[in-house]
Structure 1
Amino acid sequence: MKEAGGAGLDVLIADDHPMIRAGIRATLMARPHWRVCAEAETGPAALRLARALNPGLAVLDYSLPGVNGLEVARQLCREMPGIGVLIYTMHADPRLLSALVAAGARGYVLKTEDDVALLAAMDAVAAGGTYVSPDVAGAPPAALAALTPREREVVRLVALGETNRNIAAQLNVSVKTVDTHRTAAMRKLGLHTAVDVTLFAVRNGIIAP
């Protein structure tokens, strides 16, 4: 949990490789008011320790034994809305990123990046923001992480064939507001037509085929 004044932060590290955990601990020395409250080697252990200690930040390997990082992230974000979850992984997979964003994780860092990137990611997630490694963020599915919840909902409804007027009625907002969200979402996703939106939504699991 955060300490009084908001400067301190308890951090849970979960990785089955001791050297990786040691590296994360060393990186955290740059933030003297943060502390590693627990370390876990498996997914079940990470869940147990997080529930007992309620850390403010969880740094998780995706390939955790027992329960993988995606499922750990999903359970922690559901049970502890205030926790920041950062995935630290070797997998540069935009599809995995999309699944983790849907689960509630706010950070995705590749283990091939340096300590500066890892610290920047931890800072961003601890502050309530997001961080995605550039090697993953450049792929179209990763752009989903940049959408606001309302933009994502507008994308879903556009993909289902709804007009701006119908979307406005469903969301109880003005047509102009819908148009603003639609334009912003399509710009972030690099899409140009409603057909593009539909294809993107199907490919990335926003709507069923």
Structure 2
Amino acid sequence: MQKYLITSKEFYGETSEYFSTVLSSQIKKYQPQYALYRDKSAPNYSEIASSFVTLCKKYENVKSFLHQDIALAQRLGAYGVHLTSRQFKEIVEAKKMGLWVIISTHTHEEVLRAQELGADAVTYSPIFTTPDKGEPKGVDDLRELLEICNIKVFALGGIVTQEQIAMIAQTKAYGFASIRYFF
């Protein structure tokens, strides 16, 4: 099962140096195949994004993704972009730019739409209880989704224990994504 590490300024700080130190430690410890730099409010987002992409390239098995910003992802040489559920119209543009595209989804319909538009993968959430993210969908709903789609699906939301990962591993999910599990 693929592991998708998602950063958060609460865990990784706001300076390039601290961010790189913590991220490097987490990559070595958890060995994710995918990593997303996500910080919706950093005034120095581009600077930290550059450090993030550079650091991920040091680990041959880690694919780097930037949040929302297609142009910056391409300019910095990130592997791909992770779009929000309000950016479906940008999937085609990102693909034309040679980026691998993951998009956030919250319904079966959104997953099928992402698949139709050519996204490479989706995060589907929340699977388990997550602060401020609404009612969890649960593993049974995830299984139902995986029976009707052909796109790679990362389960997301409230994944913090090995038991939860084991439950997801018993589905056809491509992998899981998390912030808190990796810290």
Please say whether Structure 1 and Structure 2 have the same fold, judged by a TM-score greater than 0.5.
no
Greater relative contact order (CA < 8 Å, ≥ 6 in sequence): 2
TM-score (norm 2): 0.38
TM-score (norm 1): 0.34
Q: Which has the larger radius of gyration?
A: 1
Q: Which has the higher helix share?
A: 1
